[in-house]
Amino acid sequence: MPVIKDAVCSLCGSLCDDITVTVEDNKITKIENACILGHSKFVGMLEHDRIETPMIRKDGELVPVSYEEAIEAAAKILVNSKRTLSYGWCSTSCEAVSKAIQLAEETGSVIDSTANVCHGPTALAAQEKGAPSASLGEIKNRADVIIFWGCNPVHAHPRHMVRYSSFSKGLFTEKGRKGRKMIVIDVRKTDTAKLADNYIEIEQGSDLLLVTALRSIVNGHEDVVPETVAGVPKAKVVELAETLKNAKFVCIFFGMGVTQSRSKYKNGDAMSSLISDLNQHTKAVMIGMRGHYNVTGFGQVATWETGFPMAIDFSRGYPYYNPGETGANDLLVREEPDAAIIAAADAGAHFPQKAVRHLAKIPVIQIDPYPNPTTEIADVVIPAAIVGIEAEGTAYRMDAISLRMKKLIESKFKTDEEIVKDLITKVRELKRGAENVGNPD
């Protein structure tokens, strides 16, 4: 009965790497250290409905076929397409992401990640003002003031506070929770807020106002701050600013409550400026609470291969990037794509109705371990192995630290990387065939 130690949980951006897994007869029988969500990933999700075989839609019904037939059908869609959208790629390995970018370049497609509808504004803010950050290990060992702004790790990242932040004990934080001040800023009193030393409830969409007021106070311009900011009394804002200035090490963890509320990337822009202001008085950093376990990895791989983190258009023969124009939803709402690949994501469940309606009109290729609403509109469905369980690969934690995920059990399914490699090969083969037909000499 093999026991695998230090396995990496491929669920959320925390990428907990201290999981112990017991395997018996190629089945996971015991999980140690995982949270309830991670446990469901390792055990429950393997028992969850899987896409058991590749499928092609014929006469309105999905019909089982071989991997080779599905790859060929998908490749034909890509070769015949003039404007393909490739979307998702954040719940798979960096190796698969690299191949997906290569496929997008080969086919002149637009490739975009799930970040575009969650932490995409964080990337834009980093491009404008930078992202003063640190590793989660630094936070564990040094931070004495921790802010959770527009996020709820109790539910979204259950072990985050125990392993890396509020409750963790580190080199210079031996007292753990007792030696830290935990502040939560949100529009409602979440379960995370109930654990805070100081909960500040703000008005919806007013994050930028509060950040700006904090910057004014930190920089000695308290007099320009009105009596109420973002629904918060001035005295409370001044108290918060003083707490941050007098801390030894501040970390602001921010979530989609910041990135997807009014002002979007300008919230991150201002927060980065606040961190810079605080660093005139103490040490301060900021880290986005990334959701999908490798959404950070997509941004890393895309940036080093193309120069851009998401929404990359290869139709010109080189990478072109313009969020708001080349994002997945922007394209679908304008009804530009005539084919789509949805991989390791579920656009059918999470995109706006207008975008999904257009997806339903065009050929869709799905690459995923599990059936979901996207399966219902897909024309070619290709099942994949689960990375971190049935396949190994690299992923980046929310703090941009790369970790190697282990293969724990054998699987009959191809990996995302293998599937995309096969697609690239078949696309090139079909292109060569078309060229030979056009030039018989």
Shared domain check, 172 and 70: no
| Tokens at 10, concatenated | 């491929």
CA distances from 409 to 2, 23, 44, 51, 416 (A): 11, 8, 15, 18, 16
Shared domain check, 406 and 282: no
CATH number of the domain to which 110 belongs: 3.40.50.740
Task: Read off the pLDDT of residues 293-334 as tens digits, 9 standing for 90 and up.
Answer: 999 999 999 999 999 999 999 999 999 999 999 999 999 999
pLDDT score at 433: 82
Q: Say yes or no to pLDDT of 440 above 80.
A: no
> Would you tell me how many other CB atoms lie within 10 Å of the CB of residue 173?
21
Task: Read off the pLDDT of residues 244-268 as tens digits, 9 standing for 90 and up.
Answer: 999 999 999 999 999 999 999 999 9
Quote the percentage of the chain above a pLDDT of 70.
98
CA separation for the pair 337, 321 (Å, rounded)? 16
SS3 362: coil
pLDDT score at 291: 93
Shared domain check, 125 and 107: no
Mean of the pLDDT values across residues 428-436? 86
pLDDT score at 436: 72
Shared domain check, 431 and 330: yes
| Tokens at 166, concatenated | 């509020």
> Would you tell me how many other CB atoms lie within 10 Å of the CB of residue 281?
14
Shared domain check, 197 and 55: no
> Given pLDDT bands bounded at 50, 70 and 90, which one contains residue 239?
very high
Shared domain check, 146 and 276: yes
Shared domain check, 271 and 123: yes
Please report which residue ranges of 228-362 form alpha helices under DSSP H: 234-246, 256-259, 265-278, 295-306, 328-333, 347-350, 353-361
pLDDT score at 47: 66
CA separation for the pair 367, 38 (Å, rounded)? 22
**Count of domains forming the chain:** 3
pLDDT score at 48: 75
Q: Which residue has the higher pLDDT, 127 or 88?
A: 88
Shared domain check, 277 and 152: yes
Shared domain check, 302 and 189: no
> Would you tell me how many other CB atoms lie within 10 Å of the CB of residue 240?
21
Q: Do the domain assignments include residue 401?
A: yes
SS3 214: helix
Shared domain check, 127 and 111: no
- The residues, any chain, with a CB within 8 Å of residue 350's CB and separated by 6 or more, are 117
What is the pTM for the complete model shown? 0.95
CB distance 292 to 114 below 8 Å: yes
The H-or-E segment that residue 426 falls in is helix 416-438
Shared domain check, 188 and 266: yes
Structural domain of 122: 118-286
Of 286, 319, 335, the one marking the end of a domain is 286
> Given pLDDT bands bounded at 50, 70 and 90, which one contains residue 45?
low
Shared domain check, 425 and 355: yes
Task: Read off the pLDDT of residues 352-409 as tens digits, 9 standing for 90 and up.
Answer: 999 999 999 999 999 999 999 999 999 999 999 999 999 999 999 999 999 999 999 9
Q: In what order do the strands lie in the sheet with 181-186?
A: 198-201, 181-186, 145-149, 249-254, 283-288
Tracing tokens 């990387």 back to the chain, one arrives at 417
Q: Say yes or no to pLDDT of 441 above 60.
A: no
Tracing tokens 């409905």 back to the chain, one arrives at 49
Paired with 23 in beta bridges are 28
CB distance 341 to 84 below 8 Å: yes
Angle at 397 between CA 410 and CA 4, to 5 degrees: 35
The DSSP call for residue 41 is I
Of 235, 262, 286, the one marking the end of a domain is 286
Of 286, 318, 348, the one marking the end of a domain is 286
